[in-house]
């Protein structure tokens, strides 16, 4: 393999990309647009849950209890109801996800020191939001109950009874508990996974469909020189996309990069080599731009979105899917980037994932070279 011929192929492919605005837009604009859209749209935070209240008590105690909800960032008070029909209409129309119903004797029960039943109606069609909202409501009710007990003890001249367990939680690595810090690093991996394979899935197939492959076959260019030469321009574009994505993550979304930035780019380079080779392999095998691009979407987009751990925990999946997820490199890069971004881990903690990425890249690019033959049939 001669470097001169390899660079000549790379120069030819790079000129083609520059002259084709669609390919250039796909290579640069689409990843950045996806990062912005997904970065703002995908969130696991449940804040400002719409809440309606039916306060039958209309007392100081009920108003104080309602203020626990309206004063928190977890609930947004949308209005007061006067009967169940209004609550049902509000939940059905989407005006509210949670309804709080306070009984008439609420203040009397509080004053007498007895338990006051309060009804909480939750729209369970979105089970994740409903579960989190129920947890928030339970915590606010517990805070209110403890406050009432402390006030009553003080009025009676006694000393507040300390809790048996004093739980003092502390979240490491993401103290603000913001989902964007968890999602953005994984998004970089998933978006690069999809776009990289799509880009190279058109390269060799385009030569066959345009009739220029015959000319390349007649030249002294060898198979590996053609494969690597066509990979180089897209590798450079992919690394440029990674650079912009890292900058956007830091300055647009405010995601902290606690680890070594150089390690991020090294892992991204290894990952890009493997994923670009996947698109190249599909292009070599199918010899059709349509088939290879569709194949690239099938083998990258859905697996990267569902089996990489970006949105859904792999440990909660069925065992069969957990085993299948090991076949997709996005799983390893998602874990690598999150560990570097949030935990600041070094390579010594990430050797298994880094090795698997390397093995995947070597295996796919070797297979692409084996499959490419300088023959017309």
End residue of a domain, out of 155, 188, 205: 155
Determine the Cα–Cα distance for residues 62 and 273; give it in Å rounded to an integer. Answer: 62
User: With contact defined as beta carbons under 8 Å apart, do 260 and 341 qualify?
Assistant: no
Query: How sure is the predictor about 357, in pLDDT bands with cuts at 50, 70 and 90?
Result: very high
Q: What is the share, in percent, of the chain residues with pLDDT greater than 70?
A: 94
pLDDT of 126: 79
pLDDT of 298: 85
- What letter does residue 348 receive in the DSSP assignment? G
Mean pLDDT on 208-231? 81
pLDDT at 94 over 90: no
Helix, strand or coil, per DSSP, at residue 167: coil
User: With contact defined as beta carbons under 8 Å apart, do 299 and 324 qualify?
Assistant: no
pLDDT at 258 over 70: yes
Structural tokens at position 133: 């909202």
Judge if 122 and 14 occupy the same domain: no
pLDDT at 193 over 70: yes
Residue 59 lies in a domain: yes
pLDDT of 156: 67
Q: Domain of 139: which CATH number?
A: 3.40.1710.10
Judge if 362 and 221 occupy the same domain: yes
Judge if 201 and 345 occupy the same domain: yes
Determine the Cα–Cα distance for residues 72 and 95; give it in Å rounded to an integer. Answer: 19
Angstrom CA distances, 89 to 24, 118, 191, 321, stand at 50, 20, 41, 41
Q: Please state, rounded to an integer, the average pLDDT across all residues of the chain.
A: 86
pLDDT tens digits for range 270-313: 999 999 999 888 988 888 888 888 888 888 887 888 888 887 88
In order, the DSSP letters of 77-137 are EEEE-SSHHHHHHHHHHTS-SEEEEE-TTHHHHHHTT-----EEEE-TTSHHHHHHHHHHH
Judge if 99 and 136 occupy the same domain: yes
Structural tokens at position 174: 């993401």
Judge if 111 and 151 occupy the same domain: yes
Structural tokens at position 244: 């912009």
**Closest among 360, 361, 370 to 224, alpha carbons compared:** 370
Angstrom CA distances, 331 to 260, 300, 307, 358, stand at 20, 11, 7, 13
Residue 361 lies in a domain: yes
pLDDT tens digits for range 113-167: 788 899 999 998 878 888 889 999 999 998 888 888 777 776 666 565 565 566 6
Judge if 202 and 123 occupy the same domain: no
Name the maximum alpha-carbon separation found in the chain.
99
User: What are the backbone angles phi and psi of residue 125, rounded to the nearest 5°?
Assistant: -65, -30
Residue 173 lies in a domain: no
Judge if 94 and 125 occupy the same domain: yes
pLDDT of 157: 62
Q: In what order do the strands lie in the sheet with 98-102?
A: 75-80, 49-55, 98-102, 119-122
End residue of a domain, out of 155, 188, 222: 155
In order, the DSSP letters of 279-313 are HHHHHHHH--HHHHHHHHHHHHHHHHHHHSSSSS-
Judge if 354 and 231 occupy the same domain: yes
Contacts for 370 with CB less than 8 Å, ≥ 6 apart: none
pLDDT tens digits for range 50-89: 999 999 999 999 999 999 999 988 999 999 999 999 999 9
- Looking at per-residue confidence, does 167 or 365 come out higher? 365
pLDDT of 114: 83
Query: How sure is the predictor about 13, in pLDDT bands with cuts at 50, 70 and 90?
Result: confident
Judge if 256 and 200 occupy the same domain: yes
pLDDT of 316: 83
Judge if 197 and 343 occupy the same domain: yes
Judge if 233 and 114 occupy the same domain: no
Determine the Cα–Cα distance for residues 154 and 147; give it in Å rounded to an integer. Answer: 11
pLDDT at 45 over 90: no
pLDDT tens digits for range 163-188: 556 667 788 888 878 888 888 998 88
Residue 376 lies in a domain: no
pLDDT of 163: 57
Tokens 């390899």 identify what position?
Answer: 6
pLDDT of 274: 92
Contacts for 57 with CB less than 8 Å, ≥ 6 apart: 102, 103, 104, 105, 106, 107
SS3 letters across 306-335: HHCCCCCCHHHCCHHHHHHHCCCCHHHHHH
Query: How sure is the predictor about 194, in pLDDT bands with cuts at 50, 70 and 90?
Result: confident
By DSSP bridging, strand 98-102 and strand 119-122 are antiparallel
Residue 377 lies in a domain: no
- Looking at per-residue confidence, does 105 or 202 come out higher? 105
Structural tokens at position 332: 């390893």
End residue of a domain, out of 96, 122, 155: 155
Residue 172 lies in a domain: no
pLDDT at 245 over 70: yes
Residue 35 lies in a domain: yes
Query: Domain range spanning residue 289?
Result: 3-43+179-371
pLDDT of 291: 87
Residue 60 lies in a domain: yes
> How many domains is the chain built from?
2
User: With contact defined as beta carbons under 8 Å apart, do 271 and 357 qualify?
Assistant: yes
What is the value of pTM for the model shown? 0.80
Judge if 198 and 135 occupy the same domain: no
């Amino acid at each position: 393999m001669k470097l001169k011929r390899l660079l000549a192929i790379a120069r030819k492919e790079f000129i083609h990309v520059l002259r084709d605005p669609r390919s250039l837009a796909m290579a640069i604009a689409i990843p950045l647009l996806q990062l912005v859209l997904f970065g703002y749209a995908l969130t696991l935070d449940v804040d400002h849950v719409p809440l309606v209240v039916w306060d039958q008590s209309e007392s100081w105690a009920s108003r104080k209890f309602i203020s626990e909800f309206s004063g928190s960032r977890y609930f947004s008070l949308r209005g007061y109801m006067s009967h169940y029909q209004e609550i049902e209409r509000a939940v059905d129309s989407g005006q509210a996800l949670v309804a709080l119903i306070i009984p008439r004797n609420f203040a009397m029960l509080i004053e007498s020191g007895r338990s006051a039943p309060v009804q909480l109606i939750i729209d369970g069609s979105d089970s994740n939001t409903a579960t989190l909202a129920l947890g928030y409501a339970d915590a606010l009710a517990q805070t209110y109950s403890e406050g009432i007990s402390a006030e009553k003890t003080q009025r009676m001249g006694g000393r507040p009874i300390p809790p048996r367990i004093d739980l003092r939680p502390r979240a490491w690595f993401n103290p603000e508990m913001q989902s964007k810090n968890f999602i953005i690093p994984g998004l970089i991996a998933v978006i690069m996974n999809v776009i990289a394979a799509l880009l190279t899935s058109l390269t060799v197939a385009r030569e066959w469909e345009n009739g220029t492959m015959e000319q390349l076959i007649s030249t002294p260019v060898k198979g590996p020189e053609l494969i690597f030469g066509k990979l180089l321009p897209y590798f450079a574009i992919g690394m440029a996309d990674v650079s912009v994505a890292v900058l956007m993550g830091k300055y647009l979304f405010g995601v902290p990069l606690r680890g070594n930035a150089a390690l991020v780019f090294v892992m991204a380079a290894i990952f890009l080599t493997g994923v670009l080779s996947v698109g190249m392999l599909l292009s070599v095998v199918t010899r059709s731009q349509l088939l290879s691009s569709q194949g690239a979407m099938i083998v990258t987009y859905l697996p990267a979105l569902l089996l990489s751990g970006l949105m859904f925990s792999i440990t909660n999946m069925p065992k069969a899917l957990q085993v299948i997820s090991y076949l997709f490199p996005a799983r390893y890069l998602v874990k690598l980037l999150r560990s570097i971004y949030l935990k600041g881990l070094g390579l010594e903690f990430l050797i298994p994932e880094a090795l698997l990425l390397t093995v995947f890249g070597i295996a796919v690019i070797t297979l692409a070279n084996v499959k490419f033959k300088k023959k017309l049939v």
